[in-house]
C-alpha cells in the first residue's frame, strides 16, 4: 500500500496545531511542577521560582495522602461501574431499533449539563430522604460518593462509545470490504477491536471525572472520607500551602507511571490503536 | 437479531433513569413551590418561580451568556481537538503514544490548581505577556482573569483532553486505506482530510461537539475562578441562588430552565444533522 | 522572633498546666464521645486539630471534621432538616447567623460550662453563639507600587477609583468571606448603609475593579505577582505576604468608626447527638493556646483578652488593632438590617449591567 506522504506546509500546520494544543494542556502543569520546588512558609506562588528545594515534598500533610488513596479507590470503582452501565447502553442505543433513540440518549447525557452544585445538593437531599426511609445513611459515606460519581461519569462512557459506534456503523461495509472479511468475522475482528479505543477513552475519562470532581463532591465528602481535589480546594479556600504544588506534582508523576506501566504490561498502543483500521 | 440489543439497553437505561429521577426529583420539584427560605416550601403547587424567571430579563440574559460562552468554547475545542486527534491518529510509533500520554497526564490535575497556573502564566509580568510585548503585538499586558475570553479558555480546559481522546478514538476507526486511495488519485493531504476523513467522522464530531457543549453549559469551577465574579453564567447564578440566597425554589426553577434549554438545543441539533445525513443518530 | 518563640512555648506550657489543674477536667470525662465539627479545611483544620482536638482526645473523646465553606455546611444542615444533623458544632460567620437562627438550627449554649468566656468581651457572645475570631477588613495595598505610580496611600474606598489604579484593583466577590464588610463599608461611605446598599454598589461600579476575588489563595498570588495593587480585604493578607511584597492596610472611616470587623462564631446545632461536649469544645477554642495560634498560625485575630494582650507585645502584629479600645473603634455590621438574599440579587444585577 502506498504510504501517506506529507508536504512541508502540511507538516508545519500540523506542528503548529500540536504546539498550541500542548502548550495549553501542559502549560499550567509545567508551572505547577516547576513551582513545587520553591518552598517558602508563605501564602502565595512565585514564578519563576527563586530557589530549589525539596522541602515542600517532606512537608506534605498526611491528609493529602489519605485523600489521594481515597480518591483512587473511589475513581477505580466509579470507572468500573460506569463502564458496566455505559458500554451496554451505548451498544444498545446504536444497534437496537427502539423508538425515541434521541430521547434515550438525552437521558443518558443529562447528568452532564446539570450544574454540579445542583447534583451535589440533590444527592444530599436524596441520601437524607433515603436515610429517613430505610435507616441507612449514604451521606458522607464512601458508597454515597461512588454512586454520585458514577452518575456524573457514565455519560462520558456512553457519549464516547456512541460517537465511535456511529462512525463505525456507517462504514461497516467499507471497512469489511477493505479487509475482505465476512459479516460474522466483521463483528469479532472489526467491531470489538474498533470499540477498544472508545472504551479506553471513556473509561479513562470516567476515572478522570471522578478523580478531579470538586463542586459536587464538596457536599458529599464526610468526616471519614474526603476526595483529593476537595482537600486541595479546601486548602486553597482558606490559605495557600506550597505543599499543594508538591502533592499535585506527585499526582502527575504517578499518572505518568501508570501510563508507562500500562504501556509496558499491556501495550498502550494495543489499547488505543485498532488493528483493524490500517 | 435487533431485539437482543433492546435487552442489552434496558438494564443500564433503567438504572440511569432511576439514578437521574431519584437524585433530581426532590430538588427539582422545589421549582413548583413558593420558597419560604432555608429549604422550606409552601405546599401549594404553582408556577411562581417560573414567572419570576421570565419576568426578569436578568435570568434570560444569564442564560444567553451561558449559551454564548459554551458555544464559543465548543467551537474552539473542536477546532483544536479534531486536528490534534487526527495528527496523533496518523502519527506512527512511539510519538503517538507520547502525545496521547501527555493528554492523559494533563487531565489528572484538578482545575482549581490549573487556574492558579493560568494566573501565573497570564500574569502581567508572566511568560505570555512578556513574549507578546517583546514581539510588539501588545502595548499593555493582557489578562484572562475576569474576562469573557478567559472564561471560554477555562471551559476549554475542562473538555480539551476529553475531546482529543474522543476524536482520536473516532478517527482511528477510519481505515487508512481510504485516505491512501484518495491520495493515489492525486488528492492533497488537506483535501483528504476535508473530503474523506471529516465527512466520515462527522457523526462522531457532532456527538463530541454536543457533549462538549453540554459539559460547558453545566461548567462551574473554572468559570467561577477565572470569571472572577464578573461573568455570571447560569450555573454560577444557580450556585448563588441556592447557597447564598438559600432560595431552593428559584434555584430549582433555574436548573429546570437550564436542563430544558440544553435538551431542546440537543434535539434541534440532532434534527438538523439528521436532515443533513439521513438516519444518523447523535 | 526568638522572644516570640519563647512566648509561644510559655503559653503552650501554661495552657497544658491549666488543663491539668482545672477542677472540671477529670481524665476521661469524654470517653467514647465523638464530636463532629463543621469547619473550614486546609491549614485551619490543622490548627484546630493541634490546639483543640488533641486536648479533647486527652479527655478520651474524638473530634471528626466535616469540612466546607460556611455556606456549603449550611446547605448540608438544610438537607438534613428534621433528621440527625451532619455536625454537632458549626464554625460559621456573622452573615449566616440570622439565617441559621431563622431556620431554627441553633441550640442554646450553656455559658456556665465555658469558663474561658470570662476572657471575652460581653458583646462578643450570647447563649446562641460565641465569637472565636475576627478579621479586620479594610484596603490592603502595595506600598511600593503606590509610591512608584505617585498615588497617595488610600484612606477611603473611593480612593480605589483613581484612574492610575485601573486594572489593578480587586474587590471581594459576593460569595467571598470579605464581601459583607466591603459592601457595607462602601455603602456607608457612599451615603447608604446596611438597609441601603445602592450607593455602595454604585461605588463598586465607579471603582470598576479588574476582578472580584473569591479564593484568598488566588488573591494573595495576584497581590504577590503585582497583578493586583490594592484590594478590599482583611489585614491578615499583610502578614501572609510579608517578605514578598510590602503591603499595608488602611482602615477607611465607616459610620464614625474605622475599618469593619468580620466575625467568626461557634454555634451548637439543635438535635446534635453529642451536644454535651459542645461547650467543652467551645471552651477549648477560647483557650489561650488556640487563641494565640488563631493569629500566629491562622492569620485571624483572636477575641480573648489574655491572647490579645500577649500578641500586642509583638511588634510583628503592629499593623493590627489588638487593644479593646481599638477593637471597639471598628465598625460591627448590624446584621438585623442585612438581607443577604436581597444583597446577592442586587449585586448580581449591578455587576451584569
**Three-class DSSP labels, C6-69:** HHHHHHHHHHHHHHHHCCCCCCCCCCCCEEEEEECCCHHHHHHHHHHHHHHHHCCCEEEEEECC
- Domains of chain A: which residue ranges? 67-241
Cα atoms in the 13 Å half-sphere on the side-chain side of C266: 25
Report residue A7's pLDDT band, with 50, 70 and 90 as the boundaries: low
**What percentage of chain B reaches a pLDDT higher than 90?**
5
Mutate one of A75, A80, A101, A201 to test the B interface: name it (highest B CB count within 10 A). A201
Average pLDDT over residues B108-129: 82
pLDDT of A166 higher than 60: yes
The three cell numbers locating residue C230: 490594592
pLDDT at residue number A70: 92
Closest-CA residue of chain A to B212: A112
Report residue A3's pLDDT band, with 50, 70 and 90 as the boundaries: very low
Whole-angstrom distance, CA of residue A209 vs CA of residue A116: 12
Average pLDDT over residues B64-81: 91
Query: Between A101-113 and A142-170, two packed helices, what is the crossing angle to 10 degrees?
Result: 140
The three cell numbers locating residue A276: 483493524
pLDDT at residue number B267: 79
pLDDT at residue number B259: 85
Report DSSP state, residue A227: -
Q: Are strands B33-35 and B41-45 parallel, antiparallel or unpaired?
A: antiparallel
pLDDT at residue number A189: 66
The three cell numbers locating residue A2: 502506498
Domains of chain C in start order, with CATH, are 2-134+263-321 (3.40.190.10), 135-260+333-352 (3.40.190.10)
Fold of A67-241: MetI-like fold (1.10.3720)
Average pLDDT over residues A153-169: 79
Report residue B103's pLDDT band, with 50, 70 and 90 as the boundaries: confident
| C-alpha closest to that of C105 among C130, C76, C134 | C76
Interface of C with A in 216-275 (CB under 8 A): 216-218, 220-221, 223-225, 240-241, 243-244
| C-alpha closest to that of B248 among B60, B82, B17, B37 | B37
Chains with 3+ CB–CB pairs under 8 A to C are A, B
Give the range among A27-36, A88-97, C182-191 with minimum mean pLDDT.
A88-97
Write the pLDDT tens digit of every residue in B188-231: 777 777 777 777 777 778 878 888 888 888 888 888 888 888 88
Average pLDDT over residues B77-90: 86
Whole-angstrom distance, CA of residue A169 vs CA of residue A155: 20
Chain A residues with beta carbon closer than 8 angstroms to that of C45: 63, 234
The chain-wide mean pLDDT, for chain B, equals 82
CATH homologous superfamily, domain B33-276: MetI-like (1.10.3720.10)
Across chain C, the runs of DSSP E, i.e. the strands, are 34-39, 62-67, 89-93, 125-126, 129-142, 169-172, 211-213, 230-234, 247-250, 253-254, 257-258, 260-268, 301-302, 331-332
Asked if B119 lies within 8 A of C218 by C-beta distance, the reply is yes
SS (H, E, C) B137-164: CCCCCCCCCCCHHHHHHHHHHHHHHHHH
- Domains of chain B: which residue ranges? 33-276
Closest-CA residue of chain A to B88: A18
pLDDT of B147 higher than 60: yes
pLDDT of B266 higher than 70: yes
Asked if B232 lies within 8 A of C348 by C-beta distance, the reply is yes
Cα atoms in the 13 Å half-sphere on the side-chain side of C323: 5
Chain B residues with beta carbon closer than 8 angstroms to that of C76: none
Chain C residues contacting B via beta carbons under 8 Å: 71-72, 74-75, 78-79, 81, 99, 102-103, 167, 170, 173-175, 210-215, 217-218, 221-222, 225-227, 340-341, 344-345, 348-349, 351-352
The larger pLDDT score, comparing residue B208 to residue A68, is at A68
pLDDT at residue number C153: 93
Residues in chain C predicted with pLDDT less than 70, given as ranges, are: 1-27, 353
Of C72, C99, C173, the CB nearest to B229: C173
Q: How far is A198 from chain C (nearest CA, A)?
A: 37
pLDDT of A167 higher than 70: no
pLDDT at residue number A89: 87
The larger pLDDT score, comparing residue A205 to residue C254, is at C254
Report DSSP state, residue B246: -
Amino acid at each position: 500500500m502506498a504510504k501517506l506522504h506529507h508536504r512541508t506546509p502540511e507538516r508545519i500546520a500540523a506542528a503548529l496545531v500540536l504546539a498550541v494544543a500542548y502548550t495549553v494542556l501542559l502549560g499550567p502543569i509545567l508551572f505547577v511542577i516547576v513551582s513545587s520546588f520553591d518552598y517558602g512558609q508563605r501564602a502565595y506562588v512565585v514564578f519563576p521560582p527563586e530557589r530549589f528545594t525539596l522541602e515542600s515534598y517532606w512537608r506534605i500533610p498526611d491528609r493529602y495522602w489519605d485523600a489521594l488513596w481515597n480518591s483512587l479507590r473511589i475513581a477505580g470503582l466509579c470507572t468500573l461501574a460506569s463502564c458496566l452501565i455505559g458500554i451496554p447502553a451505548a451498544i444498545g442505543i446504536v444497534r437496537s431499533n427502539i423508538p425515541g433513540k434521541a430521547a434515550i440518549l438525552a437521558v443518558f447525557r443529562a447528568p452532564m449539563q446539570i450544574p454540579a452544585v445542583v447534583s451535589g445538593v440533590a444527592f444530599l437531599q436524596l441520601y437524607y430522604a433515603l436515610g429517613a426511609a430505610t435507616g441507612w445513611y449514604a451521606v458522607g459515606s464512601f458508597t454515597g460518593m461512588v454512586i454520585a460519581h458514577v452518575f456524573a461519569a457514565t455519560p462520558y462512557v456512553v457519549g464516547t462509545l456512541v460517537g465511535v459506534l456511529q462512525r463505525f456503523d456507517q462504514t461497516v461495509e467499507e471497512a469489511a470490504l477493505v479487509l475482505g472479511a465476512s459479516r460474522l468475522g466483521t463483528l469479532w475482528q472489526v467491531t470489538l477491536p474498533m470499540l477498544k479505543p472508545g472504551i479506553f477513552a471513556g473509561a479513562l475519562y470516567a476515572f478522570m471525572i471522578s478523580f478531579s470532581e470538586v463542586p459536587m463532591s464538596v457536599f458529599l465528602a464526610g468526616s471519614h472520607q474526603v476526595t483529593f481535589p476537595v482537600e486541595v480546594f479546601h486548602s486553597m479556600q482558606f490559605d495557600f500551602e506550597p505543599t499543594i504544588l508538591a502533592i499535585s506534582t506527585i499526582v502527575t508523576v504517578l499518572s505518568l507511571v501508570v501510563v508507562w506501566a500500562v504501556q509496558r504490561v499491556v501495550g498502550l498502543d494495543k489499547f488505543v490503536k485498532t488493528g483493524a483500521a490500517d | 437479531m435487533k431485539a437482543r440489543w433492546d435487552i442489552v439497553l434496558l438494564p443500564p437505561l433503567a438504572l440511569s433513569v432511576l439514578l437521574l429521577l431519584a437524585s433530581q426529583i426532590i430538588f427539582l420539584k422545589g421549582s413548583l413551590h413558593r420558597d419560604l427560605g432555608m429549604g422550606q416550601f409552601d405546599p401549594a403547587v404553582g408556577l411562581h418561580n417560573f414567572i419570576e424567571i421570565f419576568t426578569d430579563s436578568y435570568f434570560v440574559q444569564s442564560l444567553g451568556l451561558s449559551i454564548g460562552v459554551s458555544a464559543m468554547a465548543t467551537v474552539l475545542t473542536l477546532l483544536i481537538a479534531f486536528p490534534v486527534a487526527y495528527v496523533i491518529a496518523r502519527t506512527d510509533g512511539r510519538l503517538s503514544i507520547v502525545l496521547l500520554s501527555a493528554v492523559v497526564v494533563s487531565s489528572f490535575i484538578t482545575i482549581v490548581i490549573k487556574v492558579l497556573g493560568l494566573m501565573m502564566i497570564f500574569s502581567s509580568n508572566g511568560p505570555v505577556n512578556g513574549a507578546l510585548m517583546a514581539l510588539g503585538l501588545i502595548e499593555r499586558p493582557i489578562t484572562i482573569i475576569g474576562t469573557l475570553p478567559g472564561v471560554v479558555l477555562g471551559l476549554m480546559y475542562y473538555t480539551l483532553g476529553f475531546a482529543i481522546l474522543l476524536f482520536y478514538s473516532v478517527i482511528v476507526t477510519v481505515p487508512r486505506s481510504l485516505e491512501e486511495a484518495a491520495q493515489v488519485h492525486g488528492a492533497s493531504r488537506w483535501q483528504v482530510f476535508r473530503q474523506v476523513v471529516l465527512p466520515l467522522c462527522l457523526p462522531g464530531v457532532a456527538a463530541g461537539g454536543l457533549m462538549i457543549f453540554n459539559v460547558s453549559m453545566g461548567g462551574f469551577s473554572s468559570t467561577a475562578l477565572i470569571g472572577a465574579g464578573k461573568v455570571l453564567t447560569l450555573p454560577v447564578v444557580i450556585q448563588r441562588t441556592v447557597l447564598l440566597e438559600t432560595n431552593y425554589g428559584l434555584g430549582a426553577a433555574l436548573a429546570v430552565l437550564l436542563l430544558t434549554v440544553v435538551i431542546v438545543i440537543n434535539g434541534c441539533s440532532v434534527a438538523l444533522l439528521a436532515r443533513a445525513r439521513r438516519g444518523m443518530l447523535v | 522572633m526568638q522572644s516570640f518563640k519563647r512566648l509561644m512555648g510559655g503559653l503552650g506550657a501554661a495552657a497544658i498546666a491549666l488543663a491539668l489543674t482545672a477542677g472540671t477536667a477529670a481524665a476521661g470525662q469524654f470517653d467514647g464521645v465523638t464530636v463532629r465539627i463543621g469547619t473550614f479545611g486546609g491549614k485551619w483544620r490543622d490548627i484546630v486539630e493541634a490546639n483543640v482536638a488533641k486536648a479533647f482526645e486527652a479527655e478520651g473523646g474524638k473530634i471528626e471534621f466535616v469540612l466546607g465553606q460556611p455556606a456549603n455546611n449550611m446547605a448540608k444542615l438544610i438537607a438534613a432538616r428534621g433528621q440527625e444533623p451532619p455536625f454537632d458544632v458549626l464554625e460559621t460567620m456573622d452573615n449566616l447567623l440570622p439565617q441559621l437562627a431563622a431556620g431554627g438550627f441553633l441550640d442554646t449554649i450553656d455559658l456556665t460550662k465555658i469558663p474561658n468566656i470570662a476572657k471575652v468581651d460581653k458583646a462578643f457572645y450570647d447563649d446562641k453563639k460565641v465569637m472565636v475570631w475576627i478579621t479586620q477588613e479594610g484596603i490592603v495595598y502595595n506600598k511600593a507600587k503606590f509610591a512608584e505610580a505617585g498615588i497617595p496611600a488610600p484612606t477611603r474606598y473611593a480612593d480605589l477609583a483613581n484612574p492610575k489604579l485601573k486594572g489593578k484593583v480587586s474587590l471581594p466577590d459576593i460569595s467571598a468571606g470579605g464581601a459583607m464588610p466591603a459592601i457595607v463599608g462602601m455603602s456607608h461611605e457612599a451615603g447608604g448603609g446596611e438597609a441601603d446598599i445602592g450607593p455602595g454598589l454604585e461605588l463598586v461600579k465607579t471603582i470598576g475593579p479588574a476582578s472580584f476575588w473569591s479564593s484568598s489563595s488566588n488573591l494573595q498570588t495576584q497581590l504577590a505577582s503585582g497583578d493586583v495593587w490594592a484590594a478590599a480585604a482583611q489585614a491578615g493578607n499583610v502578614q501572609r505576604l510579608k517578605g514578598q511584597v510590602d503591603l499595608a492596610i488602611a482602615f477607611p472611616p465607616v459610620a464614625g468608626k474605622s475599618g469593619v470587623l468580620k466575625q467568626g462564631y461557634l454555634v451548637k446545632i439543635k438535635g446534635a447527638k453529642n451536644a454535651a461536649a459542645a461547650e467543652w469544645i467551645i471552651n477549648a477554642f477560647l483557650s489561650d493556646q488556640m487563641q494565640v495560634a488563631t493569629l500566629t498560625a491562622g492569620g485571624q485575630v483572636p477575641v480573648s483578652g489574655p491572647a490579645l494582650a500577649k500578641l500586642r507585645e509583638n511588634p510583628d502584629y503592629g499593623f493590627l488593632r489588638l487593644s479593646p479600645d481599638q477593637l471597639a473603634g471598628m465598625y460591627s455590621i448590624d446584621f438585623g438590617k442585612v438581607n443577604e438574599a436581597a444583597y446577592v440579587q442586587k449585586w448580581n444585577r449591578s455587576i451584569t449591567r
